[in-house]
């Protein structure tokens, strides 16, 4: 009887694991160098690239991004999420915060943006040095004059699902001064 019960529990565990990825609190994706939040004066613009997060996979297997979402967003809506290389083919650094207008990008921003691909479905290899710049494009909603948000990345490896939370808060302010 004891062996049947153990076998049933093992079968139930295998079935649960094969039905989808569990979300675990701690995963292999960590903030690489340079991740932080900051405030930006928006001026007349309404769409922005939030590109201050470096993601690094310190696990032993590749991870796949399932979704990028805003966390506790106020007056901001997500319009796009991309990953751009930071160190390949040569070091280019983080894109930073800027208006979402490729014509206004400086040389470094243009390099990161042009090398970026959609974040959803992207695979981040296990590496100590191959950080990916998370580029989140947001727009101010309606006639809002300011907005703020955190960022969450849902991702998985072969066995489990995870959430990565940005530790900073992005603020976009129009015609006002930054509070910090």
Contact predicate 137/145, CB 8 Å: no
pLDDT score, position 2: 44
Residues 3-61: tens digit of each pLDDT: 443 333 222 222 222 233 334 446 788 775 444 455 666 566 778 888 888 888 888 88
Q: Which residues pair with 154 in a beta bridge?
A: 67, 163
The pTM of the full predicted model, rounded to 2 decimals, is 0.75
Strands in the chain per DSSP E: 23-24, 29-31, 39-41, 47-57, 63-74, 76-85, 96-99, 117-118, 123-124, 132-140, 146-156, 161-165, 170-173
pLDDT digits (tens, 9 = 90+) for 107-143: 888 888 998 999 999 999 888 766 888 999 998 887 7
- Residue 41 has what pLDDT? 60
Query: For the domain bounded by 26-173, which CATH number is listed?
Result: 2.60.40.10
């Amino acid at each position: 009887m004891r062996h049947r019960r153990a076998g049933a529990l093992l079968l139930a565990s295998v079935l649960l694991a094969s039905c989808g990825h569990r979300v675990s609190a701690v995963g292999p994706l960590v903030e690489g160098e340079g991740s932080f939040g900051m405030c930006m004066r928006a001026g007349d613009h309404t769409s922005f690239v939030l590109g201050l997060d470096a993601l690094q996979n310190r696990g032993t297997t590749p991870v796949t991004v399932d979704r990028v979402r805003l966390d506790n967003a106020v007056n901001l809506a997500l319009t796009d999420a991309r990953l751009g290389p930071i160190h390949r083919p040569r070091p280019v650094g983080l894109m930073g915060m800027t208006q979402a207008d490729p014509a206004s990008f400086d040389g470094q921003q243009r390099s990161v943006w042009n090398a970026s691909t959609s974040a959803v479905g992207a695979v981040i290899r296990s590496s100590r040095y191959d950080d990916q710049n998370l580029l989140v494009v947001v727009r101010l909603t309606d006639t809002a004059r300011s907005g703020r948000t955190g960022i969450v990345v849902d991702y998985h490896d072969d066995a489990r699902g995870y959430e990565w939370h940005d530790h900073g808060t992005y603020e976009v302010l129009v015609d006002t001064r930054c509070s910090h």
